[in-house]
Structure 1
Amino acid sequence: MEFDRVQTIASLSFDKEAIPLEFIRPEKEQPAITTFRGLAPEIPAIDLSDPDQEKLVGLIADASKEWGIFQVINHGIPSGVIAELQGAGKKFFELPQEEKEVCARPPDSKSIEGYDSKLQKDPQEKKSWVDHLFHRIWPPPSINYQFWPENPPSYREVTKEYAKYMRDVVDKLFTTLSLGLGLEGHVLKEAAGGEQIEYMLKINYYPPCPRPDLTLGVVAHTDLSAITILVPNEVPGLQIFKDDHWIEAKYIPDALIIHIGDQIEILSNGKYKAVLHRTTVAKNRTRMSWPVFLEPPGELVVGPLPQFINKDNPPKFKTKKFKDYTYCKLNKLPQ
């Protein structure tokens, strides 16, 4: 099957101190104007191996309520496995355009899986400075290897290895988040889909940009997932909206960045907060990130858990199938 050729950001000329107009964000979004420059609080960093379970639960619950995001260290995924994942992803995006398009998203696809360079459906038709690859990595029945690169040859093996380690981290996060709400440890994971939760890997590739002050890699949003587990490279760029300021996330080698997504906010009836975040780009360096979105299966009905609803706390969100929530979110329709 042949796919329409798309002009990617990586093929643009970077020798001019200018970028196409469609990449320039409105002033209220431009990083040079809106990034907080003062002394800002740092995103909580939490040791996931802390033997004091009560302390760990409290730290993660507090971060999820106040920030909607935190970083974890000593999470159990070997640094070598993370390095191999990053190396394989980097090699893929350095391939010639024709080779990347072998696993391109078909133009008529209703799924987001595949290689593409047009992530944002912005009402102003502004473009974001990013190329990306999406594909599911777990559970096995949900995987479509059509969208897994065969080049570099190591890609599939290292991605499978990463997914294997990721499962233990996912279970610990769901358990801890449940306990932090006063629930039994299994409740949140089961409510989000249990063993049918789909792990959607996305690789973001943000090439050098001549005017990083004017554009964004990804515009401000919350994730439609339950939880997002992200590995960045060493180039900063993730920003969090906190206390009316855009705050840059500190890079911690080998840490995982944990985002609370929309579905956990819904299940907790707003007790945990989905984090509003965006991505900036760099002038002379390539930024990359590897988020894994933990998503309920499409037919699963998600809504506020009954434990959090009473006469004083009515449901803050509608109950609906995840696929319907996704459709509304991606098409910017009311939920």
Structure 2
Amino acid sequence: MGEAEAHQSVQALATSLCSLPPEFVRPEQEQPGATTFHGAAAPDAPVIDMSVPGSGARIAAAAREWGLFQVVNHGVPPAAVAELQRVGRAFFALPQAEKQRHAMDPASGKIEGYGTKLQRDLDGKKTWNDFFFHVVAPPAMVDHGIWPERPEGYREANEEYCRHMQRLTSDLFEHLSLGLGLDKGAMAEAFGGDDLVFLQKINFYPPCPQPELTLGVAPHTDMSTVTILVPNEVQGLQVFRDGHWYDAKYVPDALIVHIGDQIEIFSNGEYKAVLHRTTVNKEKTRMSWPVFVEPPGELVVGPHPKLVSDESPAKYKAKKYKDYQHCKINKLPM
């Protein structure tokens, strides 16, 4: 990859295009224009009101059947969400040179910072996405030197939002543990308790001249335990279910919860990590703010012993989370 290509963002590229460069055009079997299921028969991912009795059972059922659900009345103040979105939008409105000062340095082995998906994947294709990515908890892992000085209020907004994510994650873990017939604290204990790692990401998908041919993010499951995501109002998240791609419809004030690989492993396959992808829009910028909740790297994650028996043998190998990450990122055997 040449120096100019390495430093060009999709955001900058998008301002000068009338048609999509060929390296962004997905193979026909991956193009959202041809592979998205529309119509009255399209199912909607569950929307769960966390304030009503029985919501925990609904969360567990959605984790089994979908691997993705949306929650409302989740206790995260609208003002905290709005401020997180404000500072994220303001960061991406900064001059390119200022954003570039926060560029991630893959050669250093650090995954934090400002970056772009201009790098090709294994089949030579690129995705339509820029991002900013950093750890927000636990304090010992946070490097504020990576966080932007502008816009004003960025640090305060992210720290407050993270506190709400920690509380919501605790609630979700309790519901999901009980849904497996385990003690309510089983999942939190297995994933590291107070040492849980929270990574905040901002995804930026600028307007695209031919959105039906490309993707913002290619199909994948998340490595995390859970991912909790707030989108803007532009439709884009899609879920693979029963052999089809469906839109996860935008629900105002909802947070979207993805079940990640680590919960699938812990549950010995009872809960399903959701296969998902992201589409883009011709006229509008789509943004999303996912928080990835991960175990500490040295922690060994495997199926919970109470979920393994002669009738239900272990479906996954126990391994350190950092080793799991290495295998998945490098597409090595698990």
TM-score per shorter chain, which class?
over 0.9
Alignment match, 2:215: 216
Q: What amino acid does structure 2 have at the position aligned with 1:47?
A: D
Superposed CA deviations along residues 50-96 of structure 1, whole A, max 9, x for unmatched, are 2x2xx122101110000001000011111111011001000101111
The aligned residue for residue 318 of structure 1 is 317
Partner Cα separation in structure 2 for residue 269 and residue 254 of structure 1: 32
CA RMSD of aligned residues (A): 1.4
User: Which letter does structure 2 place at the counterpart of 1:28?
Assistant: Q
Are 1:240 and 2:246 an aligned pair?
Answer: no
Report the 3-state secondary structure (helix = DSSP H, G, I; strand = E; otherwise coil) of the residue aligned with 2:70: strand
Kept in 2: contact 1:228–1:259 (CA 8 A): yes
In structure 2, the residue corresponding to 1:58 is in which secondary structure? helix
Deviation of 1:37 (Å): 1.3
Match of 2:45 in 1: 43
Please give the per-residue CA displacement for 1:175-195, whole angstroms capped at 9, x wherever unaligned: 011011111110011111111
Q: Counterparts of 1:86 and 1:262 in 2: how far apart (Å)?
A: 27
Q: Distance in 1 between matches of 2:94 and 2:276?
A: 29
Residue in structure 2 matched with residue 281 of structure 1 by the alignment: 280
Aligned to 2:290: 291
Contact 2:177–2:184 (CA<8 Å) still a contact in 1?
A: yes
Residue 92 of structure 2 aligns with an amino acid whose one-letter code is F
* Aligned equivalent of 1:8: 9
Contact 2:9 2:118 in 1 (8 A): no
TM-score by length of 1: 0.96
- SS of corresponding position for 2:211: coil
Does residue 1:177 correspond to 2:179, yes or no? no
Q: Which residue of 1 aligns with 2:28?
A: 27
The number of equivalent residue pairs is 330
Contact 2:105 2:111 in 1 (8 A): no
Which residue matches 2:18? 17
Once residues 223 and 241 of structure 1 are traced to their aligned partners in structure 2, the CA distance between those partners, rounded to angstroms, is: 14
- Note the alpha carbon deviations across 1:268-299, whole angstroms, 9 max, x for none: 00000000000000000000000000000000
How far is 1:111 from its partner? Answer: 2.6
Contact in 1 for aligned 2:50/2:56 (Cα 8 Å): no
> How much has 1:119 moved relative to structure 2?
7.3
Deviations 1:243-277 (A, max 9, x none): 11100011111211000000000000000000000
What corresponds to 1:82 in structure 2?
A: 81
Report the alpha carbon displacement of residue 45 of structure 1 after superposing the two structures with TM: 0.5
Partner-residue secondary structure (3-state), 2:145: helix
Counterpart of 2:153 in structure 1 is: 154
Question: Counterparts of 2:209 and 2:311 in 1: how far apart (Å)?
Answer: 53
Give the letter aligned to residue 217 of structure 2.
Answer: V
Contact 1:136–1:142 (8 Å) recurs in 2: yes
Q: Rate the CA distance shift 1:234–1:62 in 2: closer, same or farther, 3 A.
A: same
Q: From the superposition, tell whether residues 151 and 265 of structure 1 become closer, same or farther in structure 2 (CA, over 3 Å).
A: same
* Other structure's SS at 2:148 match: coil
Q: Is the 8 A contact 1:14 1:210 kept in 2?
A: no
Distance 2:324 2:117 in 1: 21
State the shift of 1:146 in Å.
2.0
**1:257-272, aligned counterparts within 5 Å?**
257-272=256-271
Q: Contact (CA 8 Å) 1:103, 1:146: kept in 2 or not? A: no
Aligned counterparts, 1:70-219, within 5 A: 70-118=69-117, 122-219=121-218
CA distance in 2, matches of 1:126, 1:294: 28
Structure 1 window deviating more from structure 2 (147-156 vs 212-221): it is: 147-156
What SS does the corresponding residue of 2:258 show, helix, strand or coil?
strand
> How far apart are the structure 2 equivalents of 1:259 and 1:151?
30
Q: Which amino acid aligns with 1:292?
A: V
Q: What amino acid is the match of 1:100?
A: K
TM-score normalised to the size of structure 2? 0.96
Distance 1:171 1:109 in 2: 33
How many angstroms apart in 1 are the aligned matches of 2:322 and 2:205? 28
Structure 1 stretches of 4+ moved >2 Å: 13-17, 118-121
3-state DSSP class of the match of 1:183?
coil
User: Residues 72 and 323 from structure 1, CA distance in 2 versus in 1: closer, same or farther, beyond 3 angstroms?
Assistant: same
